Structure 1
């Protein structure tokens, strides 16, 4: 067991050794309800087949602001031993003239750590492909003959892999993952036209660290704090702090704070006159189990920066559905 953990940790450290330069990765505020979007080792955690649809509209009121859709499904292949998790993710993301459409297959090997089966350690891998596109028709250059811009819409496909580890018990969880390993490889440009190349719409390689806990405050009332740390090896480290109150296992109400912190000395720190504000946004989040199988989530993000005066926040909605055959026994509700 120790050797397996050491090998997985070494793979993650080797993978993050190279940094990339491109756009930030997609992140849903409601990752706290389904962490497969930030860690493939989470696949199958609910031990039931679960499908989720997520829609996010960011910075309402700004033309060309990011819009994202996510459709995922995951579950376990063996309901008795519950060792093999399998999942699929489809993501569509648009930012002005840039777009990225992804499809991933995730697999998680889930090790049982105790006789009661209340602790599991998972190792996950995801493989997929992303189509990056750039629509020159949506650009309005000052010089109409600017050769740096494409004359029309161009696109290219980039394969990708991701790795993760995830541990949980009924009281707390911890996970680490590396995403967009191949997308962060800058050895080749995505696009080439008129002897001009561009590579700035490719997603960056990121490392994610997640963790959280569950506290029983009273009968039918739980408190669930959580933390996400995200780093792209170029800019400030992003930190998400969230806290949710859970009433009767059906209604979740809480919020979060997203900010950037300077952890490592990087190029942007050394550039004269360049500073990046650590203030970002706070969010209000809720989720309701309409039935034991159907859940609806909503969140609103409010920007705390100069951008707040020109936009109306970010809205996100998720629909989750549990279906199919249940595992033989689930020893604790899936709060993580």
Structure 2
């Protein structure tokens, strides 16, 4: 229970630091369940071997200017003997209409052994990086020419970034808290020149949790939860269930919705809390190479105007640590 108490304290501190934000929503992948480095820097090195992943997401197919996102990441442990230090790198490119974002982050995690059997670990992580935000004003069409509210030509901004996280895991369950894009929303970053846009992503806090249940020697069930908070709009919740067959085939789905965690300004706008449902599959083609695919069906009013969202992931484990020395990592 010491680990849970520590997570509660860290979560309180992260929320105090988060403050308020006035910018856009962060990227969210449906297949974060395969690699939580995208939402928590303390996850770096969890698999205890080097793992590289490519993720491509095409959202709201059929909608002009819909989000197109790609990310590549690599993480592992830098001290194979003690397995206390994890290191991870992530590069992300995102396009939404006339807006383009490219970011690079280096993540470091220090992992504490909580019991003699080393079946419980508590990790503290920090990520440092930089993001470039671009807006091509010439791509924006308006009903009136010469709108002074629009950027003249292209608007580019480079913003430093920091993220924090804490992550606990045992063989059968895990918990994580994190704060992403911590520099976004500060007074410095919210002060923009006249005639330009504030296109910096808002701060986000994440809570992730999950468990593992062994149904039979060949079948396991992995339920999980992710709550995302941007301190401005509806709080987002992802409810996921994956069935694992022979540790080679993963089948499952998720339901994403919004809810009101506390009173916010958006609630006066009567926004819909409905979001999407997803089907997810992951296949271990070989012992070291895996492929994943997910399809999101939008349940809100937007659903009739688009053809869903597609997401593809490719993952590869490598390194000098013998596979026989590593326990299967399913979180």
Q: Which interval holds the TM-score relative to the shorter structure?
A: over 0.9
SS of 2:32's equivalent in the other structure is: helix
Deviations 1:19-46 (A, max 9, x none): 1011100010000000000000000000
Partner of 2:14: 12
Does structure 2 retain, via aligned residues, the 8 Å contact 1:118–1:331? no
Q: Could you list the runs of 5+ residues in structure 2 that have no partner in the other structure?
A: none
Alignment of 1:260-275 (within 5 A): 260-269=258-267, 271=268, 274-275=269-270
- TM-score, normalised with respect to structure 1: 0.94
Alignment of 1:135-214 (within 5 A): 135-189=136-190, 191-192=192-193, 195-199=194-198, 201-214=199-212
Q: How much is the aligned-residue C-alpha RMSD, in angstroms?
A: 1.8
CA distance in 2, matches of 1:63, 1:249: 39
Does structure 1 retain, via aligned residues, the 8 Å contact 2:285–2:291? yes
Does structure 2 retain, via aligned residues, the 8 Å contact 1:295–1:320? yes
SS of 1:30's equivalent in the other structure is: helix
Partner of 1:223: 221
Give the alignment partner of residue 309 of structure 1, picking from 296, 304, 313. 304
SS of 1:228's equivalent in the other structure is: strand
CA distance in 1, matches of 2:135, 2:112: 43
Structure 1 residue 332, shift from structure 2 partner: 2.9
Moved more, 28-37 or 138-147: 138-147
Alignment of 1:107-126 (within 5 A): 107-126=108-127
Partner of 2:73: 72
CA distance in 1, matches of 2:322, 2:178: 26
User: How many pairs are equivalent?
Assistant: 329
Does structure 2 retain, via aligned residues, the 8 Å contact 1:289–1:296? yes
Q: Could you list the runs of 5+ residues in structure 1 that have no partner in the other structure?
A: none
Alignment of 1:293-304 (within 5 A): 293-304=288-299
CA distance in 1, matches of 2:60, 2:294: 13
- TM-score, normalised with respect to structure 2: 0.95
Partner of 1:290: 285
SS of 2:303's equivalent in the other structure is: helix
Does structure 1 retain, via aligned residues, the 8 Å contact 2:45–2:87? yes
